[in-house]
Structure 1
Amino acid sequence: MIKQGIIIALSIITLIGCKNETKKAEVAEVTVENKVEVKTETTQEDYQVGSQVPNKLVCMVNNAYMGKPQMPVPVNGKTYYGCCQMCVGTLNDNETARTAKDPFSGKTVDKTEAYIVLVKKEGDVAYFESKENYLKYNKSK
């Protein structure tokens, strides 16, 4: 019974994908009367739509806030972030994956230098030249 509980708990932890809204980290296992209880705590910051999000928590290929640190991808002295090996390859090989269009000015911005904002609760992000551009964009909506 205990072995089954441990196997189930580990299986669940293994199946948690990188796109889940709330990421959890295993903290402790406690055995209580032949039951295994897994205690968890939330590790994700509580970012709201309109919040600036850190570069390292964004997959810059999918343009999505992931809620956990992504794989750093150094290219030409700058650090981009990807969620998987395919994204790492894309960031290394495809210059257009490393840039985005500022929704306010229409100018191309490097994703490492952008002011990144969560624009949808599903995790979509937008890249702005500056905080000022984001504020002007938000005001004009």
Structure 2
Amino acid sequence: MKYLVAIIAVFVLILTACTNPQSKSKAALLESEKNTTIQVATATKQYKKGDLVPTEEVCMVNDAFMAKKQLLVKHEGKVYYGCCEMCKERIPKDAAVRVAIDPLSKKEVDKASAAIAITGDQGEVSYFENEENYRTYVENLNQ
């Protein structure tokens, strides 16, 4: 009988000891599931080649979509964006990085007011005078 009580006590102790880590494990699983949901929600907001992108997520010096908010640079009442301090310093000093050529109209466009779309396979962007030019450009590519 002593052995039976000892075995039951050990068994109860083991079950009790295993219960606490399991509840932590369930909490960890719930947290992991929550993080996965957030990642999936974020993934649906990803942009692909041909999409218009938010201006504030483009480095206007490197002409690249960075998929995150860039450093804001105000110059002559306009707003530009750069990915680093070097870009932030270069934008006011170098007029060439503040303009681009619209691939449809071939006109010079101020990057601060342009419609911006991913046009390269590595996140390269193009600047358009307006969204109408962008849509026409995309239609011409799909023909």
* Common fold: TM-score over 0.5: yes
Q: Which amino acid aligns with 2:73?
A: V
> Which residue of the partner structure matches residue 83 of structure 1?
83
Deviations for 1:75-102, whole angstroms, at most 9, x for unmatched residues? 0011100000111111010011001000
Give the distance between the partners of 1:131 and 1:79, measured in 2 at CA.
Answer: 19
Instruction: Give percent identity, aligned residues only.
Output: 42
Tell me the equivalent position of 1:5: none
Hey, what does 2:134 align to over in structure 1? 134
Shift of 1:139: 2.3
Residue pairs, 1:26-41, within 5 angstroms? 41=38
Structure 1: 5+ residue stretches without partners: 1-30, 33-37
Query: Structure 1 residue 74 and structure 2 residue 74: aligned?
Result: yes
Aligned pairs for 1:1-141 within 5 A:
41-42=38-39, 43=42, 45-141=45-141
Shift of 1:56: 0.3
Letter in 2 for 1:129: E
Q: How big is the shift at 1:65?
A: 0.4
Q: CA RMSD in A?
A: 1.9
Tell me the equivalent position of 1:7: none
For the residues of structure 2 that align with 1:56 and 1:91, how far apart are their CA atoms? 14
Which one has a larger percent helix, Structure 1 or Structure 2?
A: 2
Task: Could you list the structure 1 runs, at least 4 aligned residues long, displaced by more than 6 angstroms after superposition.
Answer: none
